[in-house]
A and B are shown apart, each in its own frame.
Chain A
């Protein structure tokens, strides 16, 4: 899917910085914290495409203020490439304080490092 046509308020992009390629076929999931019960509600499960994108993570109706968690199955990803990974999974926990922003959360990943930032 053309990323510019993805209407999700939260988008991601996973890059395999060790090999210099998009991280395709990585399983990921988006969760929102239920503050009444203090448990995580699973919102979406997906897999990155050939470009390392995963479209339609969240619809505008579901997008509300609160604490979210984006989890990437990094161990599984590297295992599929015949390698080990220092990080069995990566969970990015973040807060949404305004509904009129679009949040872009890339993950730049190698077997022994990762980085992320809040983009638009």
Chain B
């Protein structure tokens, strides 16, 4: 009876740990940050997607599609396990973004293609964007 009770309590404790895990997932080793430099605000609500090149078939595999939050960020892009060395592409739906603000954009979309050789290092690939310009860099 006591051991059954202990098992029951143990079950609750494990479940709670699970909840804690889900509430604070490990940060993605790859991150981005979209800034609207035209208006001086975060690029919120921008659709984006992450792809990895399959070197055998030379085709792009979609890994995740998401939307930036109010801060212009998109947490949870990729897990540590999935972040293997290779060629990646981050695609930002810039035309759609500016259309949502009632403006046109010179760039219908922006694709940033980059190579990861050391996946153990954190990689940050921001996009600073206006209607007629953009820039990016590798941060950490």
Contacts and interface: CB of A to CB of B under 8 A. Distances in A.
Contact of A86 (B110, B115, B134): B115
Say which size band chain B's interface belongs to: 20 to 34
Given A94-B106, A117-B132, A112 B111 contact: no
Contacts of B111: 91, 93
Contacts of A75: 115
A102 to B, nearest CB: 14
Interface in A65-120: 67, 75, 84-95, 97, 108, 112-118
A75 to B, nearest CB: 8
B108 interface: yes
B138 interface: yes
Size category of the binding interface on chain A? 20 to 34
A113 B140 CA distance: 13
Q: Is the interface of B mostly helix, strand, loop or mixed?
A: strand
Contacts of A89: 113
B133 A116 contact: yes
A65 B133 CA distance: 20
Interface in B96-127: 104, 106-115, 117
B123 to A, nearest CB: 9
A95 B106 contact: yes
A75 B115 CA distance: 10
Contacts of B67: none
Nearest to B132: A118
Interface centre among A86, A93, A117, A118 (most CB of B within 10 A): A86
Contacts of A94: 106-108
Contacts of A88: 87, 113-115
A120 B87 CA distance: 33
Contacts of B106: 94-95, 118
B136 interface: yes
Contacts of B87: 88
Interface of A: 67, 75, 84-95, 97, 108, 112-118
